[in-house]
Chains A and B, each alone.
Chain A
Amino acid sequence: MDFKSSELVDADSVVGPRAEDTLPSSATAAVKIVIVGGFGVGKTTLVGSVSEIRPLTTEETMTQAGVGVDDIAGVERKTATTVAMDFGRISINEELVLYLFGTPGQQRFWFLWNGLFRGALGAVVLVDTRRLEVSFDVIGRLEERDVPFVVAINTFPDAPTYPTEELRAALDLPAHVPIVDCDARKRASSRDVLLTLMRYLHSLAVTPEHS
């Protein structure tokens, strides 16, 4: 078999989920929420604090050369760049599973967003007040894509605190977009961020003019 030399997976050595991490066979549907933010803002921490499984990492590849160009001559010279995304899982009930994906907000990672946001319930923009600039681009991009989102300020001990309305003005956020403080290390706090998003989505579902 000529593809033998290409094997990337040794089927016998693959370590699958631990018994307690398997989903019941009654699981029939899954939904996803995307956590977006800059490096080190606490995306993986937030995912990990509410996830029922230890966060897993999935990779996607991006071809470096000739972005947006059909560069046939360069094919054999192309290298791929791999970007990792951490994600976690919450079983909502016997049938429904919620997945949380953390993805970097910087513009060079936006190629990941097409598959990620298709069918997503919404997004959480996780913000570090010491580095607001990443959030500007992310928020603009989410608005362009009509992805409903809430903003969560991860309260680092040494980060400056601002009144919510000052941040709303700084981030140029419409009045209806919720802003909450959180401590991504704490399960209850991270859960409340997700609940804030769900309440916001619910308000959009019953008053569709913002959606």
Chain B
Amino acid sequence: MSDAEEKKNEPEWNEGDPERLYVITKGRSGSTAKATIDLVTLIVSRSGPTSGMQPEHSAIVRLCQSPLSVAEISAYLHLPVSVVSVLVADLLADERVEARALVPPAQLPDAALIEAVMHGLQKL
């Protein structure tokens, strides 16, 4: 990719309307969800979507038939991470999905984990 192409793909500023995002999360800011849900928390559905689910919930359940990070869910749904975190927290509370553990920061830097990553990178 050339530098010029990259610039085109770089973050852009958009004026948006936050109100609609506020409505789909029913006004919750996600402060409790943020404590446990990270950008790289892997989410897996426990079952398929059911009728009567909010469309955003249903879409997440469908996407997560195989594990997907919160960041990837956000990208595929074109919704901000903060909004996705709230929606995922709902699904976790209803036991529709499970969250796979993030490596806790307290373990870092952990030599064994770092060696595993190095080993994986060397295969690239």
Contact = CB atoms under 8 A, between A and B. Distances in A.
A8 interface: yes
Contacts, number: 235
B115 interface: yes
A61 to B, nearest CB: 5
Contact of B121 (A32, A61, A194): A194
A7 B24 contact: yes
Interface string A167-206: 0000000000000000001011001001100110110111
A148 B55 contact: no
Interface residues of A, number: 80
A88 to B, nearest CB: 10
Contacts of A29: 42, 100-103
B17 A80 contact: yes
Chain A interface main SS type: mixed
Contacts of B111: 202, 205-206
Given A25-B44, A98-B120, A115 B75 contact: no
B81 to A, nearest CB: 6
Contacts of B40: 30-32, 97, 99, 119
Given A11-B55, A202-B114, A119 B24 contact: no
B88 to A, nearest CB: 13
Contacts of B67: 23-25, 27
Given A42-B3, A201-B114, A17 B80 contact: no
A93 to B, nearest CB: 6
Given A31-B40, A198-B121, A101 B71 contact: yes
Contacts of A48: 1
Given A6-B23, A23-B42, A63 B18 contact: yes
B120 A17 contact: no
Interface string A68-94: 000000000011111111110111110
B47 interface: no
A159 to B, nearest CB: 10
A14 B16 contact: no
B11 A83 contact: yes
The 9 closest A-B pairs by CB, nearest first: A92-B120, A56-B75, A6-B23, A80-B18, A30-B40, A205-B109, A22-B66, A205-B111, A58-B74
17 contacts: A7-B24, A7-B56, A8-B78, A11-B58, A31-B117, A57-B75, A58-B71, A59-B80, A80-B17, A93-B119, A99-B71, A101-B39, A115-B34, A119-B104, A121-B109, A198-B118, A202-B109
